[in-house]
């Protein structure tokens, strides 16, 4: 037994709806009499066969999440679970698509409920949350514009960033440039899912076309070592989600996952869960699996947590406060 599960952690890549425990979604569906049958295994876990099917199941699981109060409950439940894994600070992807259908007035109400829950969780569990507004790539660039408008109108304070998730094979990143420019002009920091289902060129597009300072996943940069070195030199931060990549079959095991080689090569990697109940993981489990795969010790994990905090999109005062707690805990 080691202390990894208790170590203070910083998470930068977590989808709020993707963090919904299946029992929570089943309970909501029952309360509201909504039939979302077929998305659960016999043991109650989420059922999906591959990434594209996962996206469908994800959207079906969002069906019973119908109003701000549901997102209040969801946020509290998710943050309690993250805090139990030792997470001090978390950034979560929020999609106006699932929070009021990209209507600005509705989005404000959902956001109000989510921030209320975050404030309560900070008091009760000692975890701090910030939000990254995230269009869904396969919903297309037009919807992303509406999402960017929601992001720009609510930028600052709790909403710190803008990203993009969903099916990486749908369209081109540059189709979303208008939305990213709008978000950037509103002062939001930029991240983008890339190099999960497409290769090195997609990571280059995220860095060069969108100006992303962080990349969601980015692991397939490993297929081009010149790109890996460029990522390291430019200090672009990778939001790596090893358990997600293994669960979705991109790599056959933690040992075969490129995070070890990237870390050794000087890339700023961070450790994240993506959609933890879907992938049967937690931040504590990610640490344990990485320890087993690469023999990483507490010093490595402390370095990675510090990298993640440095790359966080929150304001300087929040960062200083979290850093104090991190340093106290890591000695």
Question: Which option in Zn ion, ligand ADE, none does residue 196 bind, with CB closer than 5 to 8 A by kind?
Answer: ligand ADE
Please say whether the beta carbons of 87 and 127 come within 8 A. yes
Least distance from C-beta 198 to ligand ADE, angstroms? 11
Please, which residue, 58 or 287, has the CB nearer to ligand ADE?
A: 58
Q: Which residue sits closest to Zn ion, CB atoms considered?
A: 274
Q: Return phi, psi of residue 45, to 5°.
A: -75, 165
Number of residues that bind ligand ADE (CB under 6 A): 10
Distance set, CA 34 to CA 64, 66, 151, 214, 220 (Å): 7, 11, 30, 37, 39
Closer to ligand ADE at the Cβ: 58 or 89? 58
Count the Cβ atoms, other than its own, within 10 Å of residue 212: 26
From Zn ion, ligand ADE, none, interface partner of 277 (C-beta below 5 to 8 A by class) = none
Task: Catalytic residue, from 168, 196, 239, 286: name it.
Answer: 196
Query: Is residue 97 at the binding interface for ligand ADE, with CB under 6 A as the rule?
Result: no
193 touching ligand ADE, by CB under 6 A: yes
Which of 113/248 has CB closer to Zn ion?
Answer: 248
Q: Which run of H or E residues covers position 3?
A: none
146 binds ligand ADE (CB under 6 A): no
Taking a C-beta distance cutoff of 8 angstroms, is the pair 218, 268 a contact? Answer: no
Q: How far is the CB of 17 from ligand ADE (least distance, A)?
A: 8
Catalytic (active site) residue 196:
yes
The span from the CA of 199 to the CA of 184, in Å, is: 25
Query: Residue 100 binds which one of ligand ADE, Zn ion, none, with CB within 5 to 8 A depending on kind?
Result: none
Backbone φ/ψ region at 206: left (φ over 0), alpha (ψ -120 to 50), beta: alpha
Residue nearest ligand ADE (C-beta atom): 165
Give CA–CA dist 87/286, Å, rounded. 12
Name the nearest CA neighbour of 188 among 293, 51, 315. 315
Instruction: Phi first, then psi: give them for residue 193, nearest 5 degrees.
Output: -65, 125
Binding-site string for Zn ion from residue 265 to residue 304, where x marks contact by CB under 5 A and - marks none: ---------x------------------------------
What is the enclosing helix (H) or strand (E) of 238?
Answer: strand 237-240
Q: Of 6 and 169, which has the nearer Cβ to ligand ADE?
A: 169
Select 235 or 249, whichever has its Cβ closest to ligand ADE: 249
Q: Taking the complex as a whole, how short is the minimal distance between the CB of residue 74 and ligand ADE, in angstroms?
A: 15
d(CA 303, CA 278): 28
Residues from 222 through 261 that contact Zn ion (CB under 5 A): none
Interface residue with ligand ADE among 166, 242, 243, 276 (CB under 6 A) is 166
39 within 8 A of 57, measured Cβ to Cβ: yes
Sequential DSSP letters for 265-288: TT-EEEE--BSTTTTT--HHHHHH
Is the CB of 82 or the CB of 244 nearer to ligand ADE?
244
Binding-site ranges for Zn ion (CB under 5 A): 274
Residues of this chain that bind ligand ADE (CB under 6 A): 15, 18, 58, 165-166, 193, 196, 244, 274-275
């Amino acid at each position: 037994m080691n202390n990894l599960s208790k170590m203070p952690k910083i998470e930068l890549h977590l989808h709020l709806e993707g963090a919904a425990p299946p029992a929570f979604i089943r309970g909501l569906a029952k309360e509201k009499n909504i039939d979302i049958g077929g998305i659960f295994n016999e043991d109650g876990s989420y059922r999906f066969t591959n990434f594209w099917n996962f996206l469908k199941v994800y959207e079906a699981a969002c069906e019973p999440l119908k109003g701000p109060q549901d997102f209040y409950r969801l946020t509290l439940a998710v943050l309690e679970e993250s805090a139990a894994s030792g997470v001090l600070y978390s950034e979560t992807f929020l999609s106006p698509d699932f929070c009021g259908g990209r209507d600005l007035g509705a989005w404000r109400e959902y956001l109000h409920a989510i921030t209320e829950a975050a404030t309560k969780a900070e008091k009760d569990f000692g975890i701090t949350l910030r939000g990254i507004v995230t269009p869904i790539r396969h919903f297309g660039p037009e919807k992303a514009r509406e999402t960017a408008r929601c992001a720009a109108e609510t930028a600052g304070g709790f909403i710190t960033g803008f990203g993009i998730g969903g099916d990486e094979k749908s369209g081109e990143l540059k189709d979303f440039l208008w939305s990213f420019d709008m978000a950037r002009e509103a002062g939001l920091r930029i991240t983008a899912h890339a190099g999960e289902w497409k290769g090195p060129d997609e990571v280059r597009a995220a860095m060069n076309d969108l100006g992303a300072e962080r990349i969601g996943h980015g692991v397939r940069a490993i297929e081009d070592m010149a790109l890996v070195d460029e990522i390291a030199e430019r200090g672009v931060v990778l939001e790596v989600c090893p358990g997600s990549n293994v669960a979705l079959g991109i790599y056959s095991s933690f040992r075969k996952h490129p995070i070890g080689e990237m870390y050794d090569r000087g890339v700023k990697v961070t450790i994240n869960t993506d959609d933890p109940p879907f992938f049967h993981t937690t931040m504590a489990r990610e640490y344990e699996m990485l320890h087993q795969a690469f023999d990483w010790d507490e010093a490595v994990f402390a370095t990675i947590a510090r990298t993640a905090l440095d790359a966080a999109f929150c304001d300087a005062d929040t960062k200083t406060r979290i850093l104090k707690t991190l340093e106290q805990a890591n000695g």
